[in-house]
């Protein structure tokens, strides 16, 4: 394993190997960057992404959002691996594809799951390189014994059998299964700046980064280059942590997800009883005065959560009628809605159902809008609104996300990549609203100047992108180009230049955005 010189491998009791900083890193700085050792696009994106550089060949509808290449073409032999240029094709051919191409061609038109292709790529590594790679994999955790007791283990065995057979490896099935378990424990997904997950990657040094629900680092991608970036100042010798799970979930759900997927009980600063502190991700509210209270305490050694025995609101004295089961009952109501499991809105009926459930939950007044399970379902409704050109609802939901969820949620400082993705989506919707000539028809009673809002959001995005992706990233370039195009088209060159030289405050951007905020709050009351 070639460990970047900015980090040192260290063994930590209870969590195994981890990476520590070899020097001080200021907040927002890059810790290191590297190309992962192996990566594979996800099945859904295979024909829309360059398998080598991971540039996104966008359909017209997507093109506003993602960095674009003109188009991708498929490998003439297997017809299931796509590239944006011959150069990329050649690079991938030499690195991996020449050994897997025949196999994929035989399997066509079926394409194995991306995890199986990744496993095959590893099994097919030739000669000396293979020896080095396998010995770097040696110490990684597989959790194979934990996995044996899970429902999915049979599927893993079937996948391993497939990879063993296709690749013709001489390794035993048991070894291949263990390798797959290592991949499952140590691989990471590849997000675009828009937060679409387009692939899976595996790298023996990145795998060493441990988890915290209060991380000090984040992984982002610029094409096929991975960057580990500090989101807080990190001192020399301090361990580097990223987050493995949806970090917006409340503590019991995070713990459960980590236990099921990664087989450990999280004792980070956000989960540990000794350091348990107010955390908006966990908040419940007093239904009378709206004061937030912390519902959980935890015995993290056994992984058992204990609910705080709440009898009355410490602020207004409201006596909870269902004390001492207040928290349990709220949790029960959340579970009954099934909202926590909503990640995609598949059809109109589902959209209506989700809206109805959101409404019922909101009416209870005990769960804040910035907390799960409001976040995911609301975010999933946004693409649905875009698809149906329901701009009133889209702007209501985006306003809630921008003002009431992203700003309040802990762990989401303004430089969090997901916040940039949300801002980008806001920009896209405002663009549609303006370009469709829908401006005047959208929320006329609030007299919002959507051009002003769009302009301000783009300026904010431009300011924040370098903190997340570094200077001169493709994402920044893309936003700038898009922004210039819109500015020129919508305002004319003279006006556009005037805007560029003014501050957001002078432009009244905040005033216009405030109108969206007011609308979003009204929207909430009407949900």
The binding site for ligand SAM (CB under 6 A) comprises 14-18, 140-141, 143, 185-186, 207-208, 210-212, 262-264, 266, 268
| Nearest residue (CB) to ligand SAM, 47 versus 139 | 139
Give the shortest CB-331-to-ligand SAM separation in angstroms. 24
Q: CA of 508: how far to CAs of 119, 496, 505, in Å?
A: 54, 15, 5
CB-count burial class (<10 Å; 0-12, 13-18, 19+) for 173: middle
Task: Determine the Cα–Cα distance for residues 79 and 85; give it in Å rounded to an integer.
Answer: 15
Omega before 142 within 30 of 0, i.e. cis = no
Residue 41: its H or E element: strand 38-41
Give the shortest CB-465-to-ligand SAM separation in angstroms. 28
| Nearest residue (CB) to ligand SAM, 16 versus 168 | 16
Q: CA of 264: how far to CAs of 2, 39, 252, in Å?
A: 27, 26, 13
| Nearest residue (CB) to ligand SAM, 194 versus 300 | 300
Select from 126, 46, 121 the least CA-distant residue to 82.
46
Both tokens assigned to 316: 């207004």
Residue 488: its H or E element: helix 474-491
Adjacent-strand bridge partners of 312: 319
| Nearest residue (CB) to ligand SAM, 262 versus 403 | 262
| Nearest residue (CB) to ligand SAM, 147 versus 223 | 147
| Nearest residue (CB) to ligand SAM, 14 versus 321 | 14
| Nearest residue (CB) to ligand SAM, 197 versus 335 | 197
| Longest distance between any two alpha carbons in the chain, whole Å | 72
Give the shortest CB-278-to-ligand SAM separation in angstroms. 21
Those residues whose C-beta lies under 8 Å from the C-beta of residue 184, and which sit 6 or more positions away, are 115, 147, 156
Give the shortest CB-138-to-ligand SAM separation in angstroms. 10
What is the number of the residue whose Cβ is closest to ligand SAM?
A: 16
CB atoms within 10 A of CB 459: 19
Give the shortest CB-208-to-ligand SAM separation in angstroms. 5
What ranges make up the beta strands (E) of 44-142? Answer: 73-74, 82-83
Give the shortest CB-43-to-ligand SAM separation in angstroms. 23
| Alpha-carbon 183 to chain mean position | 19
Task: Determine the Cα–Cα distance for residues 109 and 86; give it in Å rounded to an integer.
Answer: 23
| Nearest residue (CB) to ligand SAM, 228 versus 459 | 228
């Amino acid at each position: 394993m070639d460990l970047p010189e900015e980090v040192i491998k260290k063994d930590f009791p209870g969590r195994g190997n981890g990476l520590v900083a070899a020097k001080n890193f200021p907040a927002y700085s890059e810790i290191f960057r590297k190309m992962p050792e192996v990566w594979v696009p996800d099945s859904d994106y295979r024909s829309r992404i360059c398998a080598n550089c991971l540039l996104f060949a966008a359909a017209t509808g997507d093109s506003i959002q993602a960095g674009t290449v003109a188009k991708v073409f498929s490998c003439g032999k297997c017809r299931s691996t796509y590239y944006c240029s011959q150069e990329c094709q050649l690079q991938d051919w030499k690195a991996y594809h020449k050994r897997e191409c025949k196999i994929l061609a035989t399997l066509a038109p079926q394409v194995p799951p991306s995890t199986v292709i990744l496993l095959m790529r590893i099994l097919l590594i030739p000669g000396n390189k293979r020896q080095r790679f396998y010995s770097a994999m040696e110490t990684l955790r597989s959790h194979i014994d934990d996995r044996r007791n899970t429902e999915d283990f049979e599927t893993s065995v079937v996948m391993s059998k497939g990879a063993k057979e296709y690749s013709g490896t001489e390794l035993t099935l048991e070894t291949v299964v263990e390798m797959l378990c290592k991949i499952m424990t140590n691989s990471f997904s590849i997000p675009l700046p828009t937060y679409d997950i387009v692939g899976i990657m595996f790298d023996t040094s990145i795998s060493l980064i441990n988890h915290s629900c209060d991380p000090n680092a984040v992984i982002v991608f610029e094409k096929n280059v991975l960057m580990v970036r500090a989101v807080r100042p990190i001192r020399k010798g301090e361990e580097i942590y990223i987050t493995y799970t949806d970090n917006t979930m409340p503590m019991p759900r995070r713990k459960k997800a980590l236990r099921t997927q990664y087989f450990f009980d999280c004792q980070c600063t956000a989960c540990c009883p000794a350091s348990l502190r107010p955390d908006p991700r966990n908040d419940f509210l007093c239904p009378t005065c709206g004061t937030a209270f912390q519902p959980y305490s935890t015995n993290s050694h056994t992984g058992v959560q204990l609910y705080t025995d709440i009898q009355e609101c410490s602020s207004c004295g409201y006596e909870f009628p269902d004390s001492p089961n207040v928290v349990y009952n709220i949790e029960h109501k959340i579970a009954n809605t099934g909202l926590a499991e909503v990640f995609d809105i598949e059809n109109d009926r589902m959209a209506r159902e989700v809206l109805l459930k959101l409404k019922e939950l909101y009416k209870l007044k005990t769960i804040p809008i910035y907390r799960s399970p409001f976040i995911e379902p609301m975010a999933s409704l946004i693409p649905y609104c875009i698809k149906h050109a329901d701009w009133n609802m889209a702007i209501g939901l985006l306003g809630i996300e921008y003002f009431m969820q992203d700003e309040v949620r802990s762990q989401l400082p303004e430089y969090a990549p997901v916040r940039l993705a949300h801002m980008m989506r806001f920009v896209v919707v405002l663009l549609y609203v303006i370009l469709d000539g829908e401006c005047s028809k959208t929320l006329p009673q609030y007299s919002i100047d959507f051009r002003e809002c769009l302009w301000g959001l783009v300026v904010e995005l431009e300011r924040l992108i370098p903190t997340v992706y570094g200077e001169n990233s493709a994402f920044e370039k893309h936003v700038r180009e898009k922004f210039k195009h819109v500015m020129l088209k919508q305002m004319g060159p003279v006006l556009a230049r005037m805007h560029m030289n003014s501050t957001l405050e002078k432009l009244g951007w905040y005033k216009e955005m405030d109108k969206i905020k007011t609308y979003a709050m009204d929207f909430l009351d009407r949900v």
